[in-house]
Every structure is written in structure tokens, then in C-alpha cells.
Chain A
């Protein structure tokens, strides 16, 4: 069965795929320059047994001999095998921060070799600065992929586009397999994977494995004009260098992915190093000499609405998550309610309103799935999303939601038969699918949550995300049911009183999560706290309004539950319903726009989100030579 599915998938993959290059036998993997200089040649003499993280440096040993030595990497379908004697050792970049002059030669050499357009960069140079004139210091940081021991991109990718190779330990990504969801760009703390909105796919540093195969260092290293960038077997300190540290100011916590990069930074630094880009972050020296990111209140304390900026390229995901959660909540309610003998819900089902709601839920879930698919760079390749069920929460989320959708469809179908033809027997069949749909939704919801527990995105990496998702599921599911009840007519109004406490529970779960999250972020440092700073300033007024709205919603629902309005006054229920929908939308939009990843510091124009936004706003981005892609939607 699985084999057949895989075959089918592979056949789909062939449609529109690029042709395989044909390589004559004996073609060199890479053509070396005449009279190549020693700086470009790999020069590892001694090799250690294990790395800083306690892993074997020999990758054949690390993978317990699962793969053979001397395997061809098939670079561009070339069957040749490189003659590099260390090709099965984990390799790493070595960066001497003391020396980098910020001349961009590494970035240029990389983009020239990989034929990248201006808006894509496998390697980027940013900087941090400190001191006061003339005691001023700028430290440039050149960063590409660190070919991590624990590649979160590989684990997270739903399409299985990533492979960590036993050759050089290179983490390589296949842009043809990628369907452009961009999840790897979320999880990578170093901004290594590059999502190209034009091609709709990700590509990234390939370690220049073609050069490595013939004993040459990567193009960026060979191009370095400051003698800052180097490359070799991991843990080796290059000639003339004295350190191989795992961190430097501005570099994210190496424990997230165990990156294969080593640093030298010996010159003295000031206590505070600032960033020139618009991220509200700076770096503060700890007593042990290491630096950690702290909030830099670049825009003061003033509070703004910025409602228009709530809209982002993640809008489809706002709709996907809210619709899915509402559908899951409502489904659980109308499926479990009658089974548990809740009379108002039995009545709801019997009146036929239940069936109407199910049709609405199917439509909502269909829209949600469509949204998440259209969010992909290559929507036609959506089926690849299930490739990595073994590791990727995104794959599992997708599967859970898809199963929920399918089983809810079956449930609706059999309930419909049972209702229209009054064939009670089919209720049992429907219930069997209902249980499966419930399991699917639980799995989908859980992995939806897991997908956002990303260490490189501290604002999301908190149990509040679970509160938000569960809270929305309960609250939105309930008010959706309530809405159908209100439209359904007076005989269903008693249901509203049963729903009120459930809705309140959902709202309180979300509110509790938000409260605890804010409390956590107020004492936290780093990117999470920076997100909270933006929340309290750039979106300060919006944030306050949302908080007040959540409180009022709880109160309003409680009040209506107590006062039990009747007749046309029952329409008062519509007020909290609308308010809850609006507050949930704002909450979810904030969730996406606020996140600040643990990426590398940018420069003043290049890799500065603030300038990119400005360039889009004023039309500079319409000129391709500015290197900023204009908004595509």
C-alpha cells in the first residue's frame, strides 16, 4: 500500500520536473584554476575523534557504517568520486571575527558561483558595533549554513528535501523536492535556507561540495580578503589561529542545533554590542565573556495601532489555523455533546441544524486547507507535505488535519443518510467515522502546536501557543455552533446557555495563556522579549484593545448567560460573538507578525527588515537592483 502511494507520488513528481543533466564519463567534478594558491586548498593534518558536542567526526562511524565509504555524491549526475581523503569527516567553517573587513567578497563569490539573483544569498555579512568615537568597534559576521549536527531544517521539512550527507557532513537541500512552505526558514536560527518567492522554493548553501571533492575550500573561503573565513575538518584550528570557539557576539545559542562553525574572537569587546538593523535587539556581555541577546528599545516607549501592519504574508496561515481550530472545536462539540447526552445538543442535531453546521464546517476546513496549500510556493506539489511523517511536525499536522477533514466528511455523509432517510443504523457508521475524525483533529491540533514550538522563535516557543490553539478551538468552535443556533431560530436558544460556560472556558484558557506569556516575556531577555517589546509599542494600542476585548468577552458571555435574554433580545448574543471573532483574528495576526527569530545581525541596508519594508513601501523594491522583492500579493 505504502509502496504504491510512493510510486504514485514519484510519478506525480516527474510532471514538470527539470531534465537530468547528462554528464560524459571522466568529466571533472570541478575544474581547478591553473596555479591554484595554497589558501584555496584544504589542509587538514590532524583530525580529532569527537567534536565539541561529543559526536564522532568520522561520519561513517557516526552512522554506524550504514552507508559505504567511497560513494559518489552524484553532483549534477556526475558519477565520479572525489579524491579528498577526508571526505567522510564532518567539515566546518572557521570564522576569525577579529579579521573580517565586511568587504562582501565571500557573499559575492558565493552568489557568483551559485548564480543567485540579488534577493537570494546563501551567505550574508552583517555586523554589530559598540563604543563611542574614536573608541569604536565594529565586528562583522559572515554567516552561511552551518551544516549542523542536529539539523532542525532537515527534521522540520515536510517534504524531506534535506539530507545530511556522510560526505563532509554537508546538509544539502533539493530545491526540486521543496514545495516552498518556508518552514525550514522558520526553524533555522541562522537564516541559512533562502525562500525565493519568485521561484516558490527554498535553496541554500551547498558547502561547495563540488570543490571539496577535488580538495578545494568553498568559494566564499577562497575569496575572503580579510583572512577571516576558513574551512576544514571540524574542531581544527587553522594555521595562525588560536581559537575554535562555538560562539561569538551576535551568534545564536549553539545548543539549538549544534552548528558546525567555529570562531576566533580574541580582541577585547565592549559590554554592549548593538545592531544597525531595525531588530530591537542588542548583545550584552555576561560575566563569563559570552554575549546574550537583550532588548534594545530602539523606538522608545510610544504606543501605536499599526492595524494595517497586522496583515502579512502569513495571512493564509491566520485563516488556516483559525478555521481549522473553529471547525475542530465545533465538530467535537456537536459530535460529543449528543453522545454525552447533553439535551440541547441532541435537540440541535435532531433539528437538522447540526447537519447544516457540519456542511459549514466542511466548507471552512476546505477553505483552510486551500489557504495552507496556496501559501506554498508550489501549491501543485502539496502532496509532498506527507513525505516526512517520521520527523516533521508539519507533515503530521497536515496528516491530522487531512484525516479530520476526510473523516468529518464521511461522518457528515452518513449522518445525512441517517437523517434524510431516517435510517438510524447509519448513525453508528457515522459515529465510527466521528471517532476517527476526533482522533485526526486531536493529532492535527497537537502537531499544529508542535510546529510552532521552535527554539529559534522564542516568542512562539512557550506553552501559551497551546493555550491559544486550544482556547481558540473551544471558544471559536462554541460560538460557531452558537451562531448557527441563533440563525436556526428560537427553539435552539436554550443551547446558548449550555454553550456559554464552554465558550467562557475557551476564552479563559486563552486569556490565562496570554497573561502567563506576557509575564514570562517581561522577565525574559532576547528575541522573545523583543517580540513583546514590539507588541507593547509598535502594536501597543492594538495589543491593549485585544486584551480588553478578551476580558469584556468573558464578562459579556457570562452576563448574557446569567440574564438569559429572550425574544429579539437574544440577538444580543451576536455582540460577543462578533467581538470574539475579531479579538481572535487580531490575536492570531499578532502571533505571526510579532515573532522575531534568533537570526544573525543584518547590515544597514542588506538583511535589514526595516529597510526591506521601507523599500517595498516607497517603491524602491520595484527596481531589481535594490535586491528587495516587492510584495507579491
Chain B
């Protein structure tokens, strides 16, 4: 008898002594999971758990959310504002008043000397919506620069642009519940298990309850591709060719929803003419998917009762990003799959509040999806804020990706970076490094003072992070959810909301415009601005209390609304936000401007996420229980290709493109094609040094995923040393 011992050993299970659970919304990706942070008696965050009765995540969290309580104390947080005259000087600590005075003076000096637009602002998708709204007020209403944008240009600009072109307005029309109703789903360049694991779980749950065909378009055999019923290993950057061919088959075989097209869309003639050139036989030669499969998928999609598309960066980050989004939209429109349960065209967004910045930050216009180009919108906002409408520019200024070249050539002299890290995240980062050197004045406002851009900054403003603050996020399915103050901002850091409000006092208009003290008051302002007939982005029925109680509410949620599912889908009545009220079917002519592999640079370079990291690792790179799964940069490479070059598994190589080089560790796997490699983008001084990043003509989003590189042997000891030095976090 080896068990059944009578003497009992004590059983000790870790008890974190949680005294209180505080409700908030996860601050990583845009899935929008409701999360509770466990506080111990000393008021320290010690545990995280999913909120079981929240509809989005139903109690689940991904690896990042599970350890989110640790980020408050992650290394490298800023404590005091720092200043210096020159970037080769040492930083000196200062107080907030003095820092903001200096900042105001410098901005005004630059604007006086070089013009209003010589000072640029690049923000993020990480702040709270009220903060975005307030930053918009400050940038558009007080500072008055037109060179103001968000880093969402790197991730969702193509989706925004595609939605605007097809439907007349931004705003994903579908929701996660569509998985439970669809009869066919195409995932374009989206690897849910790695990027949005909780959305993947919602998909899996739906599929286990009621199976439907899953088609995955991805050049790499991701986990989602493996689980797909049909995997289409497409040639990089040829999505619109495949989309045109699918529409070609649908229209040629008469599988389209003629009634829907007739009633709710315009442009079918031009579309038909364009896709006529993309017969499956010709298209197959370009996109690498054989013609039979193209026909099969087209018929499957068109004949399914309800069909939907989802996509992420695989589409957005290409030179035809915006076009490809309209391609998804058109596929849905010609088959009558918009605004119905299970029929939609749904972008799976990146950052936790990319939607919030799109809606309210005034980056590309004015708050609440208003446009600078519309006089009425300018007047409405100027009146609401109490300033002269002539203070607003009449046309949108530069996008993030155009701001940096303008610094390079001297039109822009000052830059304010808010919670974004272009030294790691922009394509061709060595060019960005040189660009930042040229600035007369660079302010970095971030929770982390070790963010790489501080190497080039004249001022660092330590911001509070995530649930040290109070406000709302909007997720991928337009769900507004609450971020509540879980614990006080670390050290002497301040909420971005406070920083924006305080800085406004340094400007003339800052004394005309009201900057509320609490985010809830700002939310009330936004509610007022969201009212209006035909306005989909309507949050006037929401309150902080109602939102938390419902675990998030989707807009439109109009004044007096009681049905929490009212905002599940947009365009249910077939009425779109275009001037005609009809959706636009947009032809997608094909120009191949991808940087193809060649003799000198024989491999396709593809980049993407891994589940354990978020963006530039400022948070996840410091938490061992996340970082340990990929503590250093690596490259997935095909073993057959490696054998030809004599490259060994788990050795270092130097990779080089026409722009720069990097050192990575090789992981040999048949997951990637023999002429392609995959490298996660999270690491500093790594793959983005190589990316070309041609800009999409509509969205100005860079094509991170289609460039070419070569692979060279490198001294293993030197490579290891460099790798060690570059991974201080």
C-alpha cells in the first residue's frame, strides 16, 4: 500500500490574500476582455482573473491578461519628468509645472518661427477614449497643428480607410456573436490563436456547437491555418488578386445576391468590368492558389447561408491594404452579407483602444468621426468647444508615416510622442533613428522611461499606465467598456488625461475651452457630441455605471436605450453612411509593387506577432512569465532552404535587406515556405530595420509584410554578445 498513509502532510497552496477584486478592461489587444484585479490588504495588485459574466471573454483571459497585475511594477517605469537641452546631455529630474511650462514655450517658439504645423504630435491606440478626446481638443483646439496622428496608422489605417470607402464611415459592422450564426468564414491574414486568443476561443466555441467551414488565407501555416478546413497559402501581397478572382467566379456563375446589390449598393458595373480580367486561371499564376480551389472557395462563400470575412494585419499591412479591405467588404456586399447575423466584414483590431482613437482623438479629423473637410463639422465642434472655427485646418494634415519624412527634410522641428515607440515599431527603423536626431525638440510621454525613443528626447513625461487611470476603451466589436482606477499612478507619474489638461493651460485657447477635471465629465461631453440622427457612433445612452453593469455596451447606444444588444451590428437596414446611402462597390486594379525576392535578396520577409508579447515589449519583455517563451528575436526558416545555405537550427544568422540588417536566432520549421522567413516584430533593433514599408496610397499604412532579404552566416560569439546587449528588456 503506497498510499492511504494516515499521517497527513500539510497541503499548502499559494494564497495571495486577495481582499478585493476591482473591475477593469484589459489594456493589451482590442478583444476587450473584462478583467478583475485582485488587491491584497496593502492595496497592492496581486492577481488577475477574467470576469465570468462578461459577454466578450466569459471569464477567459489570454496569457498577457493573466499576468496583467504584474505590469504596474514592471521594470523601467518613469517616476519624474526629465529634461535636457541636448540629446547628448544627461537627463535632469524636474517637476511637472516646470516641465509643462518648458514644453508649452518650446512648442510656441517652434510654431512662431516655423509655422503652426512645424510641431507634430504622434499618439497611440493605448490611451483611454476620454484621453484621446482631450488630446484632440488640445491638438486641434489649442496647439493647432495639423500634423497630428496616431500610431494606428501602423495597424488599422487600412481598415479605417477601407470601411470609409465602402460604407462611408469607419466602424466594424459585425461582432463576435456572428461566429455563432455564420455558415462560412474566411480569415484573411489573421492568426487569431496567436494574436487574439480569446476571439479564437469564441470562434472555437461557436464551431464546436455548430460546425461551419473555416477558410484561412495566410502564406504561413499558422495554428489557425492548420485548423482550417481549407488553407490557402497565398503568395505574399496578392490578396486583391484572389479577391478579384473569387468575385469573378461569383459574378460569372450568377451566385451573387442581385436583389441586395440592386437595392443597397452602387458601382456593380465597374466592379464587374474589373473582375472580368481576373479569371481563376490567370489569377492562380499570381496569387499561387490553384484555379480549382479558387472556384471551390468562391462557390462555398457565395452559396453559404451567411458568410463572413475577418482580417488583421495580413491585409492591412500591404500596399493594397485599403483596397483589400474594400475587397472583403465587396465580397460581403455582393453576397448580401452585411448587417445580418453571421454575415459581415469584420476587422480584428490591434490595440486595446485603437477604436477609441479612431472615434474620438481627432487624429484624422474631428471628434466622433467628424471630418475637417466638412464645414458643418468644423463649425459644430468649434462652437461646442467655444473657439473660432477658422482655427481648424480645412483638410487633414500628414499621417504618422508622412510626419517622419517631413522631419527628415526639415518641415517639422518638434515632435511629441505619446505612448508609442517608433524606434522599434516603424519600418526601416535606422532611418527613423537618423530622423529623430534632427529634431529641435522631442517630448516622449510614456509609462516607461526605458522606451527606446527616450535616447533622442529632450523631455520625458512619465505617464500613468492602464488601470492606474479611469475611463473607457472601445473594442473590435464597438463595445465600450470601463477601465477603472485599480491603483494610484506609480511614483510621480500622472494620467495622460491630467497631462493634456494641464498643458492646455499653457495655450491661449486652453483658457477658452473647458478641460474637465474628471474623465466622466469628458465622457459626458462625448455623449453630447455623439447625438444626432443617422450618427452610428452614438454613445448618448451610456453611463459609466451602465457600462460596467453590462460589462460593456456596443455603440450605437442611443439616449434612452435599454436593449444591450441593440448595437450588435451596423447597417442592418441596408442604409450606409455614404451621401447616397448606398454602399460602394470598388474595383481593385492590380499593380504589383511588392519587393519580390531576387538573386541578391532571395527570401520573402514576413513579420507578425507572438502571443506572449505585445507590441514593442515595453511591458511583456519585462515579465518573466511572458517573456520566457521568446526572450530573444528569432526567425522561422524552412529547413530545406537552410540546408542549402548550411544554416543550423538554433544558430545565429545575420539578415540583411536593401535597408539594414539584424541578428536573429534561426528556428527551422516547415511552417514557412522555402523562399520565405517569418520574424516577430516585437524586438528592438531587429526586423523593422529591414522592412521596406511602402505606403498604401489610401491609408498611408506601411507594407511591413512584403519585402525581401538575404541570410548570411555570422560569428556566433559576436552575435550572441550583440543579442545579449540588445535585450536589456
Residues of A within 8 A of B (CB): 20-21, 31, 33-37, 39-40, 63, 66-67, 73-77, 99, 101-105, 107-109, 111-119, 129-134, 136-138, 151, 154-155, 161, 163-166, 172, 174-177, 206, 208-210, 222-223, 225-227, 240, 276, 278, 298, 391, 603-606, 608, 610-611, 614-615, 617-620, 623-628
- A interface footprint on B47-83 (CB within 8 Å = 1, 0 otherwise): 1111111000011111100110000000000000000
Cβ of B197 within 8 Å of any chain A Cβ, yes or no, is: yes
| Pairwise interchain contact B724-A618, C-beta atoms closer than 8 A | yes
Cβ of B200 within 8 Å of any chain A Cβ, yes or no, is: yes
- A interface footprint on B204-244 (CB within 8 Å = 1, 0 otherwise): 11001000000000000101011100010100000000000
| Pairwise interchain contact A174-B204, C-beta atoms closer than 8 A | no
| Pairwise interchain contact A63-B52, C-beta atoms closer than 8 A | no
Name B5's closest neighbour in chain A (CB-CB). A163
| Pairwise interchain contact B208-A103, C-beta atoms closer than 8 A | no
| Pairwise interchain contact B221-A176, C-beta atoms closer than 8 A | no
Measured in the bound complex, the distance between the Cα atoms of B207 and A226 in whole Å is: 11
Measured in the bound complex, the distance between the Cα atoms of B9 and A74 in whole Å is: 9
> Which residues of A sit under 8 angstroms from B61, Cβ to Cβ?
105, 223
Name B623's closest neighbour in chain A (CB-CB). A625
If A74-B8, A105-B66, A175-B12 touch, does A136 touch B53 (CB 8 Å cutoff)?
no
* Chain B interface, DSSP helix/strand/loop, else mixed: loop
| Pairwise interchain contact A36-B52, C-beta atoms closer than 8 A | yes
Ordered by A's residue number, 26 sampled pairs between the chains whose C-beta atoms are within 8 Å are A20-B10, A33-B49, A33-B50, A34-B52, A34-B53, A67-B6, A103-B62, A103-B197, A107-B63, A108-B63, A113-B14, A114-B13, A115-B14, A119-B628, A133-B672, A134-B225, A136-B221, A163-B3, A240-B208, A605-B630, A614-B720, A618-B720, A620-B724, A623-B631, A626-B727, A627-B624
Partner of A623, one of B60, B233, B669, B727: B727
Name A163's closest neighbour in chain B (CB-CB). B9
If A115-B16, A618-B723, A623-B727 touch, does A206 touch B11 (CB 8 Å cutoff)?
yes
| Pairwise interchain contact B10-A606, C-beta atoms closer than 8 A | no
Cβ of B683 within 8 Å of any chain A Cβ, yes or no, is: no
Which of B50, B59, B628 has the largest number of chain A CB atoms within 10 A?
Answer: B628
Q: 5 extra interchain contacts, Cβ-Cβ under 8 A, other than A66-B1, A101-B194, A163-B5?
A: A76-B13, A206-B11, A226-B200, A276-B649, A605-B629
| Pairwise interchain contact B670-A103, C-beta atoms closer than 8 A | no
Partner of B63, one of A21, A63, A105, A163: A105
> Which residues of B sit under 8 angstroms from A610, Cβ to Cβ?
650
B619 to chain A, nearest CB (A): 11
B74 to chain A, nearest CB (A): 9
Residues of B within 8 A of A (CB): 1-6, 8-16, 18, 36, 47-53, 58-63, 66-67, 193-194, 197-198, 200-201, 204-205, 208, 221, 223, 225-227, 231, 233, 611-612, 621-632, 634, 638, 640, 649-650, 667, 669-674, 720-721, 723-724, 727-729
> Which residues of B sit under 8 angstroms from A134, Cβ to Cβ?
221, 225, 231, 233, 673
> Which residues of A sit under 8 angstroms from B612, Cβ to Cβ?
104
Measured in the bound complex, the distance between the Cα atoms of B191 and A102 in whole Å is: 13
Measured in the bound complex, the distance between the Cα atoms of B233 and A209 in whole Å is: 45
A187 to chain B, nearest CB (A): 14
| Pairwise interchain contact A114-B628, C-beta atoms closer than 8 A | no
> Which residues of B sit under 8 angstroms from A151, Cβ to Cβ?
2-3
Measured in the bound complex, the distance between the Cα atoms of B674 and A37 in whole Å is: 44
B532 to chain A, nearest CB (A): 36
If A101-B193, A618-B723 touch, does A298 touch B649 (CB 8 Å cutoff)?
yes
A273 to chain B, nearest CB (A): 12
Measured in the bound complex, the distance between the Cα atoms of B628 and A627 in whole Å is: 5
> Which residues of B sit under 8 angstroms from A74, Cβ to Cβ?
8, 10-11
If A20-B10, A129-B670, A618-B720 touch, does A104 touch B15 (CB 8 Å cutoff)?
no
Measured in the bound complex, the distance between the Cα atoms of B673 and A413 in whole Å is: 75
A221 to chain B, nearest CB (A): 12
| Pairwise interchain contact B621-A625, C-beta atoms closer than 8 A | yes
| Pairwise interchain contact A627-B3, C-beta atoms closer than 8 A | no
Measured in the bound complex, the distance between the Cα atoms of B47 and A210 in whole Å is: 17
A146 to chain B, nearest CB (A): 15
Name A111's closest neighbour in chain B (CB-CB). B625
| Pairwise interchain contact B200-A101, C-beta atoms closer than 8 A | yes
- Closest A-B pairs by Cβ, 8 of them: A118-B624, A627-B628, A35-B53, A164-B3, A101-B193, A63-B4, A115-B14, A618-B720
